[in-house]
Structure 1
């Protein structure tokens, strides 16, 4: 039975990955900060899908939390999903530097360290995969969040290109707006966002796993977001920044 480790596993895209992988017969290692909620999620997955679930409470914004998850990755996983992340409530210039550094710790350092902890075992076995959850925001210009997600995309593609083993895959998943707790946690008012811009988390995961099986390095779920990213690449950077700010 293959093992999947998922960070940020109790809500949103992480929870959707947990449901889908449990249905596919994976043994799960669930990582999140909230130990109580983590245990409740694991129990629901065990009851519904009959799979083995392991809980690993850890705060990835701390060295201690990162080290715990690194150790588990080195022990052996077949699929790593680096999903943990958050948004800031205020604009870049109005956000304390400590909060920005915490974001970079979770979005960048954690992705780097956990990927590099998991890959040696995968390469030795000749199979395995890493999915790093980025964002469509990474293709645009909007503060530290989009900057960190741009790093995730570049890092993932660079790593995928450097791995010689054909059975070991690295992919970045870049969704647009997804109906999860993400924006509520950041106290963002998203009531003005048109309905057609929202994606379903389970569908995002289904498309991501399909793209992973196809060997893609970048997965952008839905035709509308593929089109948005494609158009954005041809527009002047200043114009893209102004449009991003308005959104």
Structure 2
């Protein structure tokens, strides 16, 4: 796919590693210029140089902590710049909490909610303003298969993203804007290591590669689909989870999947 547009810039949050970095590589290969958002300036700069060298695109670095009011405001300001329109928003930044809700601090839970829900809401609102004026735009909100399961505040936050994306795809699809909730299962990224999870506790067949997840997400979004569940195995699991009693799918292990 070749991108030809005055708004051929994609902004990706959580861009320094994992699914975010893979989104950047695949979008750059398609010809999108990038705005890379994460907390780590050095890792973003390294990735930006790689993208420019490999694909000849412009890669802008914006270091920001999306759990912080000031960090979110900086990204909203970039999305609102009429001189540098953003045509594709990937709300990918996320974190996991290893402990149960009652065992976490309220501050940890607040940051968790701010990153998954508040940041995605504020950035989507900002991006929509110029997208609606142009009559085109694309948005992917990285949710999770956990959105279909009643498992703590991670599932609750991801369920918000899923419901929000389904609605937004209907509400703004008629205006040329495609919104998709990406709902992957376990993916080989740094996500689980950062939260302190032992990856060996989950069967190998449950793990997906980041490349596959991103390819399927981009294809589903391009086709205007509101929900993307990568791989047949997770499509089956999601459909089974919908008909099982909540008490069965709510039990341990309470481990999120990005």
Shorter-chain TM-score category? Answer: over 0.9
- Counterpart check, 1:167 vs 2:176: yes
1:165 CA displacement = 3.1
Q: Contact 1:232–1:240 (CA<8 Å) still a contact in 2?
A: yes
Structure-1-length-normalised TM-score: 0.97
Q: Give the counterpart of 1:19 among 22, 25, 36.
A: 25
- Give the drift of 1:191: 0.8
Q: Distance in 1 between matches of 2:67 and 2:254?
A: 27
Distance 1:102 1:49, change over 3 A: same
How far is 1:89 from its partner? Answer: 2.6
Match of 1:139 in 2: 148
SS of 1:191 mapped into structure 2: helix
Structure 2 portions without partners, runs of 5+: none
Query: Are 1:5 and 2:14 matched, yes or no?
Result: no
User: The residue matched to 1:215 in structure 2 has which SS?
Assistant: coil
Is the deviation greater in 197-206 or in 161-170? 161-170
Contact 1:141 1:244 in 2 (8 A): no
- Is the 2:132–2:175 Cα contact (8 Å) retained in structure 1? no
User: 2-side partners of 1:245 and 1:30: how far apart?
Assistant: 31
Counterpart in 2 of 1:97?
A: 106
Check the 8 A contact 2:52/2:58 in 1, yes or no: yes
Task: Flag as ranges the 4+ runs of structure 1 deviating above 3 A.
Answer: 243-247
Q: For the Cα contact (< 8 Å) 1:142–1:244, is it kept in 2? A: no
CA distance in 2, matches of 1:109, 1:57: 18
Judge which range, 141-150 or 3-12, deviates more: 141-150
RMSD value, Cα: 1.4
Corresponding position of 1:235: 244
Rounded Cα–Cα distance in structure 1 between residues aligned with 2:219 and 2:52: 24
Task: Name the SS of the counterpart of 2:61 in structure 1.
Answer: strand
Where do 5+ consecutive residues of structure 1 fail to align?
none
Q: Give deviations 1:190-220, integer Å, cap 9, x for gaps.
A: 2121111000101101001111111100000
Aligned equivalents of 2:254, 2:152: Cα separation in 1: 9
Residues of 2 paired with 1:62 and 1:246: CA distance? 25
Hey, what's the Cα distance between the residues in 1 that align with 2:255 and 2:68? Answer: 33
Residue pair 2:32, 2:57 contacting (<8 A) in 1 also:
yes
